[in-house]
Amino acid sequence: MTMAASRLLRSALAAATEDQLVIDLSGVSATYRALTGELPGVRVRFAVKACPVDEVLAALAADGAGFDAASPNEIRQALRTGVPAGRIHYGNTIKSDRDIAAAHRLGVRDFATDSEADVRAIARHAPGARVFCRLATSGAGALWGLSEKFGCTTGEAVAALCSAREHGLTPAGLSLHVGSQQMSARAWDDAFAALAVTVRALDARGVRLDHVNLGGGLPAAGYLDRRGRALTPRTGRMLATIRAGMRRLREIAPAPLAFVVEPGRYLVAEHGAIRAHVVRLTRRRHRDGGDRHWLYLSCGRFNGLYETDQLRYRLEFPDHRTGRLVAAVVAGPTCDSDDIVADRASVPRELRSGDPVWIFATGAYSLSYATRGFNGFDPLPYRAVRDTPVLAGCAGSRAS
């Protein structure tokens, strides 16, 4: 899908009488199948943080996916789908001794790392485990660069993986992340260049890797930029760049290399939409002396729309498909001045309190980022739908 939601998603939104997030499981599965068709033979490990919904994880597990988990709780949730622990890796480079030990007890044997201190901790608390080292990237071209907190240089990666070998671990792979919602194919070219340098450096030290984890970063369509224009990622070009990069890397690797990807928002963002409602459309004096319309919605930054720091969501008002529009600031319901969803959007002039609003491309991170009750506003419940049957549930719990 691009800017158009599926008929199933629209039907579920139209049927909803209360605020909720609706997730189209059929769409998620279709996108997974399309991705594995574009990258044949590549193992998919869904980033649980993007949409930690039991039904989503179960659907992806049934399709053949594994999981990228960032904590023991995410590992436990992934295991509840019935996938073997071998299809789950601990992808967070930041983890306590206690959490390393917990993951090991749960059966996880693949751990991300980016420092020798972390390698020593894994050796103590997950003896015999496999480690893959995360390289740093610039994050250029992504909406969220992820370039400061994670990753290391080639020299540091070589030192970490050699240390892993000395401590009885298996130095199994390399990983990286080109940044969340990456919009440039060049980022993948740069990533493969860094991987090639590091593979050669490890080969010189006698370290033979068995896999490379290309992380997440594949962008979702359906978003708007901060000016309200459609974001149009060139995903086809990115996938072609990835295929070419994998071929080049296999040619220089001293041993056969498998590849892993960790898509998150790419699989789920377009297949979720929020049914919210209008709190109030009002006109207020602005500090510049003029008047400005403000549209307050029942859902804002603290109810799941946190990512409006970098993007905008497409709004639709199903009860007002025609009529005069006005420019308005769109904001959430809380008494926090940061709770702004859009600086300017065209909205129907005749909106009334209680009118429904549909917010699209909210399948990624909306549940993850929602507060547990800031200002007393409850987290959104969710409803997971597929062609048949329909499942219903509450956020964070399995549907009945």
Q: Let me know if residue 395 belongs to a domain.
A: no
Residue 387 pLDDT: 87
Tokens read off for 242: 């990835």
- Please name every residue paired with 293 in a beta bridge, in sequence order, or none if there are none: 283, 328
User: pLDDT tens, 322-363?
Assistant: 989 999 999 999 999 999 999 999 999 999 999 999 999 999
Residue 285 pLDDT: 78
Whether 392 shows a pLDDT value over 70: the answer reads no
Pair (291, 265) in one structural domain:
no
Q: Let me know if residue 43 belongs to a domain.
A: yes
* Percentage of the chain lying above the pLDDT 70 cut: 96
Most distant CA atoms of the chain, gap in Å:
71
User: pLDDT tens, 251-291?
Assistant: 999 999 999 999 999 999 999 999 999 999 999 877 777 78
Residue 83 pLDDT: 98
Pair (89, 213) in one structural domain:
yes
Domain with residue 370: its CATH number is 2.40.37.10
Whether 243 shows a pLDDT value over 80: the answer reads yes
Domain with residue 117: its CATH number is 3.20.20.10
* Residue 5's pLDDT band (cuts 50, 70, 90): confident
User: pLDDT tens, 288-328?
Assistant: 777 899 999 999 999 999 999 999 999 999 999 998 999 99
Residue 397 pLDDT: 40
Pair (41, 53) in one structural domain:
yes
Q: Which of 204-208, 363-367, 389-393 has the lowest mean pLDDT?
A: 389-393
Which of 240, 269, 298 is where one domain is finished?
A: 269
- DSSP codes of every residue in 261-290: E--SHHHHGGGEEEEEEEEEEEEEE-TTSS
What ranges in the chain are assigned the alpha helix state H? 7-15, 25-38, 54-63, 72-79, 97-105, 116-125, 154-166, 186-204, 235-252, 265-268, 366-369
Whether 390 shows a pLDDT value over 50: the answer reads no
Whether 244 shows a pLDDT value over 80: the answer reads yes
Residue 213: count of CB within 10 angstroms of its CB: 26
Pair (282, 314) in one structural domain:
yes
Pair (259, 380) in one structural domain:
no
Pair (164, 285) in one structural domain:
no
What pTM does this model have?
0.94
Q: Let me know if residue 135 belongs to a domain.
A: yes
Q: Let me know if residue 167 belongs to a domain.
A: yes
The enclosing H or E element of 182 equals: strand 180-182
d(C-alpha 167, C-alpha 128), whole Å: 9
User: pLDDT tens, 43-79?
Assistant: 999 999 999 999 999 999 999 999 999 999 999 999 9
d(C-alpha 215, C-alpha 305), whole Å: 24
Pair (227, 371) in one structural domain:
no
Strands 142-144 and 110-113: unpaired
Q: Let me know if residue 397 belongs to a domain.
A: no
User: pLDDT tens, 88-115?
Assistant: 999 999 999 999 999 999 999 999 999 9
Pair (200, 308) in one structural domain:
no
* pLDDT, mean over the chain: 94
Residue 396 pLDDT: 42
* Residue 395's pLDDT band (cuts 50, 70, 90): very low
Indicate which residues carry an active-site annotation: 335
Q: Let me know if residue 15 belongs to a domain.
A: no
Q: Let me know if residue 333 belongs to a domain.
A: yes
The tally of domains found in the chain comes to 2
Q: Which domain holds residue 349?
A: 271-385
Which of 205, 236, 269 is where one domain is finished?
A: 269
Question: Mean pLDDT across the stretch 198-209?
Answer: 98
* Residue 2's pLDDT band (cuts 50, 70, 90): very low
* Residue 393's pLDDT band (cuts 50, 70, 90): low
Pair (327, 277) in one structural domain:
yes
Q: Let me know if residue 196 belongs to a domain.
A: yes
Pair (321, 246) in one structural domain:
no
Pair (223, 145) in one structural domain:
yes
